[in-house]
Structure 1
Amino acid sequence: PTMEDFLQPGNKQVAAGYVIYGSSTMLVYTTGRGVYGFTLDPSIGEFCLSHLNIVTPPDGAIYSINEGNYNHFPEGVKKYIEYCKQEDKPTKRPYSARYIGSLVSDFHRNLLKGGIFMYPPTASAPKGKLRLIYECNPIAFLAEQAGGIATDGKNRILDIQPESLHQRVPLYVGSKNMVQKLQEFL
């Protein structure tokens, strides 16, 4: 293989997934035909289909972001966070802030319940902190297969042409309507 083999946009992926550990162990994956979850049954040592064709709700009530970096976020992200905190019964706001600090854990919860995960650029990481090829692309593929959206704020994550193996990008991913609303602020 050559470097060019690795530097392909995410829309060329054929599969993506993750394993999450907690009160149970779950494998979530896609091959481009929906998202499926398998939970480990320790009594037989096998993963059993537990979540058939996962669909992310188009709206959610959870936003996930490290608000400790609030002062360093772009102005549009700050305004969206304030929007999330405003009371508005028709849109079921204020939303709940839930941030585990683990991309997969935060994404997994939002995948199932609806929500948005945000990792914007900051002054110390102006290009973002998450890696395009092996963090953002797989999550974006899963999100889109479940009906969600993944963007860097301007571009669809899966359409970004990688320039380097460890290239970093901002990431906004989750429920379709929540990500679209964020984009209005950006």
Structure 2
Amino acid sequence: MTPATLPAPDVFPVGHVPQGLRPLMQALAGAAIALAARIARNGLEEHLGAAAGINSDGDAQKALDVIADGLFMAAARAGGVAHYASEEQDRVVDLGPGDWALAIDPLDGSSNIDTNVSVGTIFSIYPVAESPEASVLRPVAEQIGAGYVIYGPQVALVCSFGQGVQRYVLDPDAGAFVLADPAVILPVEAAEFAINASNYRHWPSPVRAFVDECLAGTEGPRAKNFNMRWIASLVAEAHRIFMRGGVFLYPADQRKGYEAGRLRLLYECAPMAFLAVEAGGGATDGLRDIMAMTPSGLHQRVPFVFGSRAKVARVAGHFAGQV
């Protein structure tokens, strides 16, 4: 299957999708199904984790990064997208006439390809604007849809169009997604938080304070035991949080290249924030609501905290000195 080959249409139930976005969601779902099949055969005909160069923002690319970008660009063109902004591209690609702009991380978590850990795709949809850059460098709150696909033991597509969050599961026998949950709600209570603890010494003091109180367990100020998680795949972390609650933290820190955070506002934080808020949760950089931001550049990085509302507020409270 070549990167430009997509399955037949009607692979995604569109009942919860606005009428104008239905062709695009069918196309994106088709690309996700094709990519899932490719991932499942990693190591048989090809090595998808092989180095494939460096992308425009200085990150190492894997073969699967390039394949995924080609698949989703083809899907975007077929689905009526005029402006395609990808983490793997150095500019917004003009695909020709269309009604929509798509901002996408085609393959999140690519460092995990060869370890058989879940990877994913993250995307945001905007109405087309007067220029490619204007279509995506706009307030995060102007998203009209967002979602992610997780390629794991179960392939799932989680998305929202501003009226709640829906979860779909790929039926491998039918080769199509099936609606599994029409109203995903982030659990309010959870005893998990996700952060890369190896960077503790580099974190700002509010992040260390939050983690310290969680690690103190029943003897600490939270009077509760917590479990710490870290998968190094944003989509995998997000899916666990949407299924059973908790909070994810990827703060800025003192290391070179991490001073402003590491995750990209346009391709990762904005769509996850949209989903979190629609599911009853929240998202912040510690001081500012992610949904109130506007990207200043295609690859702008920001600190990122999202998940259950009370836990996000607790982290923000540490930054504000109110805890």
TM-score after normalising by structure 2 = 0.56
Q: What code does the residue aligned with 1:93 have?
A: K
Matches within 5 A, 1:12-27: 12-27=142-157
Matches within 5 A, 1:30-41: 30-41=160-171
Match in the other structure for 1:87: 217
| 1:8 matched to 2:144 | no
Match in the other structure for 1:74: 204
State which structure, 1 or 2, has the greater radius of gyration over its C-alpha atoms: 2
The answer on whether the counterparts of 2:214 and 2:222 sit within 8 Å (CA) in structure 1 is: no
Cα distance change on mapping 1:9 and 1:68 into 2, 3 Å: same
Match in the other structure for 2:261: 128
Secondary structure (helix, strand or coil) at the match of 1:141 reads: helix
Q: Tell me the CA shift for residue 91 of structure 1.
A: 5.3
Secondary structure (helix, strand or coil) at the match of 1:140 reads: helix
The answer on whether the counterparts of 1:140 and 1:158 sit within 8 Å (CA) in structure 2 is: yes
Match in the other structure for 1:175: 308
Q: What code does the residue aligned with 1:75 have?
A: S
The answer on whether the counterparts of 2:266 and 2:295 sit within 8 Å (CA) in structure 1 is: yes
Match of 2:292 among 151, 155, 159: 159
**1:55-74 Cα distance to aligned partner (Å, 9 max, x none):** 00122111000111110000
Q: Tell me the CA shift for residue 4 of structure 1.
A: 2.3
Q: Tell me the CA shift for residue 37 of structure 1.
A: 0.5
Query: Any unmatched runs of 5+ in structure 1?
Result: none
Q: Tell me the CA shift for residue 11 of structure 1.
A: 0.2
| 1:112 matched to 2:243 | yes
Secondary structure (helix, strand or coil) at the match of 1:40 reads: strand
TM-score after normalising by structure 1 = 0.95
Percent of aligned positions with the same letter in both sequences?
A: 40
Q: Tell me the CA shift for residue 181 of structure 1.
A: 1.1
Partners of 2:206 and 2:179 in 1: CA distance: 40
Match of 1:64 among 194, 198, 204: 194
Name which structure has the greater RCO, CA cutoff 8 Å, separation 6+.
1
Secondary structure (helix, strand or coil) at the match of 2:217 reads: coil
Partners of 2:136 and 2:314 in 1: CA distance: 33
* Deviation >6 Å, runs of 4+: none
Q: What code does the residue aligned with 2:296 have?
A: E
Secondary structure (helix, strand or coil) at the match of 1:54 reads: coil
Secondary structure (helix, strand or coil) at the match of 1:134 reads: helix
Q: Tell me the CA shift for residue 18 of structure 1.
A: 0.8
